[in-house]
Amino acid sequence: MTQLTILRYPDPRLHTVARPVAAVEARHSQLVSDMLETMYEASGIGLAATQVDVHERLIVIDVSEKRDEPMVLINPEILWASEETRLGEEGCLSVPGIYDGVERAISIKVQALNLDGQLQTHEAEGMLAVCIQHEMDHLSGKVFVEYLSPLKRNRIKTKLIKQKKDEER
């Protein structure tokens, strides 16, 4: 397993729209194990392929307390989302140290392929529902800070650019 580099906002590659996975292949198993290792190491609960500069529709998630229930969603599609939404605090491994409120559907039904190429349907609510919506946004080239006001977003951008410069010194 290899730990991958996570792109950080405002890296323009985070705005790439991912293409669907045409066929689930052995390289996807490798990618998933590398992404899981990267996510666990960074103490994250979800990671989209976009964040490791692979622009295919694939996400990994683990919202379990023991961090032993990895979930892989390939070509995920939301079949249904509740009208009821909730404003919850979100963070992102590509936006380190920043947390802010985003409005999301509280429950969803999603369809996706697993690593065996089988189509599965998942019903999700609470943190899992939020996480799936957040990660699917990444596949569309969207980072959660884009839901915030331009003022807040610019502050975050400035802060992260400075942080990166300080690290490179």
**Residue span binding Ni ion (CB under 5 A) among the ranges 13-21, 84-92, 106-114, 153-161:** 84-92
DSSP 2-26: -PPPPP-TT-GGGGPPPBPPSS--H
DSSP 117-160: S-EEEEEEEHHHHHHHHHHHHHHTT--GGGGS-HHHHHHHHHHH
- Smallest gap, in angstroms, from Cβ of residue 144 to Ni ion? 6
Q: Does 145 bind Ni ion (CB under 5 A)?
A: no
> Quick check: is 135 catalytic?
yes
- Smallest gap, in angstroms, from Cβ of residue 157 to Ni ion? 16
- Smallest gap, in angstroms, from Cβ of residue 57 to Ni ion? 15
Looking at beta carbons, which residue is closest to Ni ion?
92
Distance CA 53, CA 153 (A): 22
Find tokens 């369809």 and name the residue.
111
**Residue span binding Ni ion (CB under 5 A) among the ranges 22-30, 55-63, 89-97, 120-128:** 89-97
Residue in 77, 135, 146, 168 annotated catalytic: 135
Q: Does 92 bind Ni ion (CB under 5 A)?
A: yes
* Contact in structure between 49 and 93 (CB atoms under 8 Å): no
Q: Which residues are catalytic?
A: 135
Binding residues for Ni ion, rule: CB under 5 A, are 92
